[in-house]
Structure 1
Amino acid sequence: MTDSSTPHPPRHDTFRLLLELAFGTLSDTDPVVVTTNDEMTAHLKHEWRSCLAESAGELPDIANTMLGTAPVLLIPPWSRSSDTLAAAAEGPLRSAHEIAVAGIRPEGDDALLAALLPASALTSPRCREFREIVDYSWQPCLVIFAAGVFDGVHQLFDTAAVFWRPRSSEGQPLKLFRFPGREDEKAVESDFRRLLSRASGTGKFGYVLPGPPGSGESLSIELHDPATTARWSELDAWGATVPMKDLFAFPAPALHRTAHRHLLHDQRQDGSVRVVAARDLRHDGTLAGLDDSSRWAEVPPDRQLRAGDVLLRRMFPPRARGNLVVVEVASEDLPLAADDSVVTLRASGHLGGPQRLVAVLFLRSPLVRKWAVGLSVANLTASVLRDLPIPQPDTALAVTIEGLEAARSQLESWKDESEALLASVFEEESAVTARRRLLESGRQLRMRVDAAALLDDFSHRVRTRYPHPIAYRWSEVQVHLSRGADEAAYEAIVETAEVLLCYTALAVLSLSRGAGLRLGAVDGIRGRLSRGGSHGPGFGDWAAILNEAAESKAFRRVPDGDPLKDFSRVFSDPEAASARQRLAARRNAKSHLRRVDALDLPSAIDEAHADLMTLLEHASFLADLPLVHVTGIRWDTLRGTAEVDYQELMGDNALVPGQQRPYSSSGLEIGSLYLANEDGQLHLLRPFLLRRRCPICRSWETFHVDNTPDASSVTVKSLERGHTDTDPSLRQVLEHVGLVE
């Protein structure tokens, strides 16, 4: 591409140094450079021996001869081959550099072949068959990617120096390195030296793979980056990954920019629709407005875009910055049609709103950009996109996403309402009417915002969104603290911590039983209850259950999204564990009549309150797992669904309205408590937690087993007020679940 007298780019010398270091590490002999004087051949400034071929067709024979004596650095022309050369080529090879490399065979087990190639030869799907041919005889051991190192070559054009060894059954590590564009070249050299000496691991600009990918696979440094592959492997945490072709269809573009240019108009005409091109897709996910370059055409309705269609810019320069440009078509954008510079994705009928939203967000992610860069694709065609794995949310995540979308829509509605109200201040004919309207409507909007702002107050969230026993106890803490730092406030804090642990531990017992998981900590509770007496399970037992669930290998295998996962690790964080231990010490001191001195009480209250806040914050997932009391059920045999009457016992108010919901099973118990998962499933909490009317205060409260005074009776205690009741009928049920022998 240049002659020897042409000055080289500044990066050229560093690139040549990297080649020298590579040959010096991989071989004890200087290479022979095999090249041509073809104008499409990159010129490398070097002092190695050269063999100059008169044509590209002679390169394989010369390289094969030289490999018997020394390593070979092949610098072929980067051009389409002649018809004569193509006719002699193997299979689909059509580029001079592909034909030259494919014609070289190993000479001895220690042969070393290197070549300077367009990076696309190693990464592009179009060159897969070339790589398969080469991989039959050779296996890569080192690849250096670089841009802007040759004069006469565009600075964004990606070059690759690839080093091959003869293929062997044992395989060998593959080292991939990128010469970055904006880094100190001394730092690049140092990192490359470290990479050459590595047997494994990752450096700043490169890494080592245990072996090369499969035959014909891309050698892209972006595609195989360990950090990127780890991100891909984590996608299953969303629920599942499916190929894009299972989620979207790929409608053909309505118009071709060149073939149909005679159909395009500069001005809107009757029956015409706007034609969007790639330049109309903006990085912020919206369509650009009309301008002087906008075009219109008459397009049949079945070829026009639809609301919800997802548009991508077809062209994707691999070295360009930024993620893929992805736009969703809104109903207000229509009517529209797309030309062939745009890829259209049309959601399948079964794809719900949350699933489509996750797919769109994923397409805009850096992970997909790296995937596109790794493929070295210039065109995001249907054939390229159809097998791209797309994460799809499980039911719990879908519900959360729907909630976020609803919240966003509601906030936008309030914003629009507020702006319309302000804009109309002086539009009323009567100033009196305008003033009254502003005051009345403005009051309602302000109340909405004030109510929403309360959710930023953590104390308010606990009082209104946590399960009733915990929220009720927390409200008591707030009432006592408002009256001053006294013994009642201190006692309320410690008791609230115990109720929080009791509720979460009993939920773990119930959920683990449903999952077929056993907890050894239950043995201590069973022994204490079976022996009878006045002392039942307490703070230490609840902590033991939660500790075992957090440390058990069986519990770690519980999938994300299962409520047992959140309950089992709720207080495993070191900060939460320390707070729990301090509160347990306070609870033990109180039970052994070791009271806090009056002078120390204010600081003790502050410290205990901070620890309780820590535990409550770590248990914030409870707000998404409602405590439900089933009050009625009607099963429809024909439809196979049930209509369930229930109360959602969340917040500090025990008087809550009844609600109804459909359910897919008739196996629910009227009068029992359930935990409602985010996917809508109800998990039975009986007999670990019970809902019953208290005989002392006559209110409905949440009870748990407290002790078994004798062989026939069972005492239960209220989480809300600590009142007790007896129920002999519970004995048999407790034996069934293993709490009593």
Structure 2
Amino acid sequence: MVDLFKIILEMSLFSQNSTEGLVLIPDSELDTQPQNQTTGSYFIAKNIFPEKCKVQILPNGEGFLNALISILSQACPSHLFIIPPFGLHRYLSEDIRTEFPRLNLEEIALKLAIENLPSGSLVGALLPLAFFANQRGGNFRENLFSQNSPRFFITHDHSCQLLSFNIDNFFRMSTLILEIGQQKQIPLKFFKYSEVSDENQKSEIISDFQRLCQQEGGKTKNSYGYVLRENLPPGAILLHNKYHPELRKRLEDLAKLGRVRPLGELCDLFRGLNIVNDAAQLLKGDSNYAIPVIEGRDILQNGSLVYDEPRYKAKVPLKIALEAGDICLRRIINFARCNEPLPVAEIIEEMLPLTASHTVIILRPKLFVTTEERELLLAYLRSDLAIAWLDAQGIGFDIKPNILKELPIPLPDKDLSIAIQSLNEAVKQFEKWKTEAEQARNQIFKFASAQDTRLHLLTVGRQARQREEAAKLVDDLKHRIRTRFPHPIAYRWRTVESSHPNLEGYIQVLECAEVAICYLAQVCILLAKSFNAEIRYIQEMAQRISDLERGTNLGDWITIIKEICNSKQFRKLPGHIPFYEVLSFLNQPHVNDTLNQINRYRNDQAHGRGPKTSSVIEETYKNCLSYVITLLENLEFLSEYPLRYIETTKRDSFKKITIYSYRDLMGDHPLVSVNMAETDEPEIEAQSLYLVDRDGRLHLLRPLLNRREYPKYGTWETFYLDSYKKSTDCSILKSLEHGHTLNDSTISPLFRQIGMLKFSK
């Protein structure tokens, strides 16, 4: 059960020792401390140490200290490992407490070991979590690390198995290895593992630790360990999870949801009634005319609260009364075994009156906290990230309000607030429809005649059925593409749905994919324009179009999308930006492969390498269609940004608003209604296309996309830059919907202005 401990100890501490290493342990059979004054009894087996080490047993308790000094003065080992006896400062003898103020027994033992060995020696010690995590030990850690260089911090998630502890599983220990007297900056290496029986996993852990010993930065392959190169603050808490790169990255990502503020700025935190100290205010749970007292055990993992059968009730007036909107958190949690959400419950009006015991931490949101912020707070408290952060603070099992108030909480930006509001409105609407259906069902036999009953059932049944059918359509991706996507994509999808698995249908599928990718690329260019950011590939593309008169193609649009998604300058853009989803488009599963496959199909077809026989065409059609569906599924965020054609505008200079009429070109039908709106933006162009962001701001698409009437058929279509004729300075525009082309010499200067054509010399 302890093979890994032996191997890792040998690699980290004794591998460089050409002579025999020394291990010092207390005699576990001579535990002189009363059981209620120590961490607990334990037995240390000698076979958990490397064979090359000499193991010596010293007296337990305070006798360990003199024996330690004596043996080190004789042996003077260059590599030492100790498991000191554990004892709280207040239970030590008066002489020891006077000589070593405020130090626990294990801290004194480590201090004496370091003082009695020469500079350059390596010392390792197995110490309890409190040594590394408590604020009380900050001064000792500061002195320790200012004069000696820590090399390894190894967390054992099998402490109880390691030393055969007769103690609670809450008690966890870690190994610290440091070099004495070296004040140089040595990267601190963290490692965490559990004892496993599976040989493959055991080999994986050993291999990871070997890598850690050689690494000078970063985390190991399997993330058991990592190297911390930065200087820690004096006396900093030393815990594996606290500085782990993955946790740090997740906490940094919180800023993408909005502002991040500590919990204490959003809520007042306090504990409930102390059942012992406030016993005079308590009655038995079956007492009448008293207020139920909820305890930590009454807050369930699923967020529900058991409050109707309390153990105690409180007399009135209450010392602490809960209010609607309060958030109650169970205080005692075993983080070592916690793989479920934090037990958190929200108090609603129907539960009151209530009060809480001291085993509950009460969070009372401040008045400025909005409904959406409170709901995101609740969701975050129940997330694994909140648990990971709390565990990384070394809480152990008792959550302290002063630590909890530092928990970083993301506040939703405007986009997320709107999304949460939409969810709330949807829930209310669904509940309303459910109530109406139940009421209609319950009124079946309340009508005067069977004929009235029949008519009632047919009427309400039809309405309920229509709602059900409409809801099912929303779950259908193909329906959403037809009705909610920008018109050019939705129209092309309609041609795909009406096609057959033949060559013509295959070409329709390819063209639908190209239109969708082209449209997304225009959104990418628009995003870059709004931040005056540069897309380098556009310069290369402009030179090819202008000098060589070669047209734009699918590869161009894919390259632009990839540059936007992979460029550092775009990844640094703030979270609340227009068309934010574009930046993470390539991070979605299978999207990169989908783009490459579609590009390959398009190139093969354009160069005569496409499918020829009917059976091959049918198979290729189906495969390509599956990629296109994946593409459109990941482009569904485009439905959040209406493609808006401005028909007329009228400026009111006194009110400083622009009133305009418009058509939202969304869905596969070309005929859409005219609507009216107003904006405070002074410059709105009539007969131009705009993209509307979530804040309602209008972003001009001209000349990237242009709505024109195609003269031959009289149809209104969306055109983009396809190619260029240098001799006549004429831009050839191509229709996204039908593939028609138009020549336009007047628009070329605009394409030069946005960089898609070169300026003439």
Sort the TM-score into its range (normalised by shorter chain): 0.7 to 0.9
The CA deviation string for residues 698-732 of structure 1, in whole angstroms up to 9 with x for no partner, is 45432334566674766644433445556654344
**Closer, same or farther: CA 659–182 of 1 in aligned 2, 3 Å:** farther
Matched, 1:95 2:104: yes
Partner of 2:351: 333
The CA deviation string for residues 171-212 of structure 1, in whole angstroms up to 9 with x for no partner, is 445455556367469976994697368334548795253468
SS class of match (1:575) = helix
Counterpart contact for 2:555–2:599, Cα < 8 Å: no
**Closer, same or farther: CA 527–120 of 1 in aligned 2, 3 Å:** closer
**Closer, same or farther: CA 511–589 of 1 in aligned 2, 3 Å:** farther
Once the two structures are TM-superposed, the CA of residue 327 in structure 1 deviates from its matched residue by: 1.4
CA distance in 1, matches of 2:222, 2:516: 47
Matched, 1:687 2:703: yes
**Closer, same or farther: CA 52–401 of 1 in aligned 2, 3 Å:** same
Partner of 1:31: 22
**Closer, same or farther: CA 717–298 of 1 in aligned 2, 3 Å:** same
CA distance in 2, matches of 1:643, 1:96: 78
**Closer, same or farther: CA 658–184 of 1 in aligned 2, 3 Å:** same
Partner of 1:512: 528
CA distance in 2, matches of 1:76, 1:611: 64
Once the two structures are TM-superposed, the CA of residue 654 in structure 1 deviates from its matched residue by: 2.9
Q: State which of 199, 218, 221 in structure 1 corresponds to 2:214.
A: 199
Matched, 1:118 2:135: no
Counterpart contact for 1:25–1:196, Cα < 8 Å: no
Partner of 2:316: 298
CA distance in 1, matches of 2:547, 2:585: 31
Matched, 1:170 2:184: yes
Partner of 2:59: 52
**Closer, same or farther: CA 645–153 of 1 in aligned 2, 3 Å:** same
**Closer, same or farther: CA 179–513 of 1 in aligned 2, 3 Å:** closer
SS class of match (2:91) = coil
2:225 maps to a residue whose letter is Y
CA distance in 2, matches of 1:49, 1:612: 71
Matches within 5 A, 1:95-494: 95-102=104-111, 105-106=114-115, 107-140=117-150, 141-145=152-156, 146-148=159-161, 149-174=163-188, 176=190, 180=194, 183=197, 191=205, 195=209, 198-200=213-215, 202=220, 206-210=224-228, 213-250=232-269, 252-253=270-271, 255-265=273-283, 266-267=285-286, 273-291=291-309, 293=311, 295-299=313-317, 304-321=321-338, 322-374=340-392, 375-425=394-444, 432-479=451-498, 481=499, 484=500, 489-494=505-510
CA distance in 2, matches of 1:524, 1:127: 61
Structure 1: where are the runs of 5+ without partners? 1-10
Counterpart contact for 1:173–1:199, Cα < 8 Å: no
Counterpart contact for 2:149–2:184, Cα < 8 Å: no
Counterpart contact for 1:135–1:167, Cα < 8 Å: no
SS class of match (1:655) = coil
Counterpart contact for 1:63–1:72, Cα < 8 Å: no
The CA deviation string for residues 458-494 of structure 1, in whole angstroms up to 9 with x for no partner, is 2212111210111112213323x2xx55665455334
The CA deviation string for residues 364-386 of structure 1, in whole angstroms up to 9 with x for no partner, is 22232233333134332321112
Partner of 1:578: 597
Structure 2: where are the runs of 5+ without partners? 47-53
Counterpart contact for 1:558–1:565, Cα < 8 Å: no
SS class of match (2:328) = strand
CA RMSD of aligned residues (A): 4.2
SS class of match (1:573) = helix
1:96 maps to a residue whose letter is L
**Closer, same or farther: CA 387–253 of 1 in aligned 2, 3 Å:** closer
1:257 maps to a residue whose letter is I
1:154 maps to a residue whose letter is D
SS class of match (1:438) = helix
Once the two structures are TM-superposed, the CA of residue 281 in structure 1 deviates from its matched residue by: 1.0
Counterpart contact for 1:713–1:727, Cα < 8 Å: yes
2:374 maps to a residue whose letter is R
Counterpart contact for 1:310–1:344, Cα < 8 Å: yes
Aligned length: 718
**Closer, same or farther: CA 215–438 of 1 in aligned 2, 3 Å:** farther
SS class of match (1:128) = helix
**Closer, same or farther: CA 668–60 of 1 in aligned 2, 3 Å:** farther
1:49 maps to a residue whose letter is Q
**Closer, same or farther: CA 77–580 of 1 in aligned 2, 3 Å:** closer
Report % sequence identity: 26
CA distance in 2, matches of 1:611, 1:466: 18
**Closer, same or farther: CA 137–598 of 1 in aligned 2, 3 Å:** closer
SS class of match (2:214) = coil
Counterpart contact for 2:146–2:183, Cα < 8 Å: no
Once the two structures are TM-superposed, the CA of residue 51 in structure 1 deviates from its matched residue by: 4.0
1:311 maps to a residue whose letter is C
1:449 maps to a residue whose letter is E
1:617 maps to a residue whose letter is E
SS class of match (1:340) = coil
Counterpart contact for 1:119–1:158, Cα < 8 Å: yes
Once the two structures are TM-superposed, the CA of residue 214 in structure 1 deviates from its matched residue by: 4.2
Once the two structures are TM-superposed, the CA of residue 652 in structure 1 deviates from its matched residue by: 1.0
2:240 maps to a residue whose letter is I
SS class of match (1:442) = helix
Once the two structures are TM-superposed, the CA of residue 651 in structure 1 deviates from its matched residue by: 0.7
1:97 maps to a residue whose letter is E
CA distance in 1, matches of 2:110, 2:409: 36
CA distance in 2, matches of 1:598, 1:144: 63
Counterpart contact for 1:74–1:116, Cα < 8 Å: yes
**Closer, same or farther: CA 190–636 of 1 in aligned 2, 3 Å:** same
The CA deviation string for residues 231-251 of structure 1, in whole angstroms up to 9 with x for no partner, is 33443443443222232222x
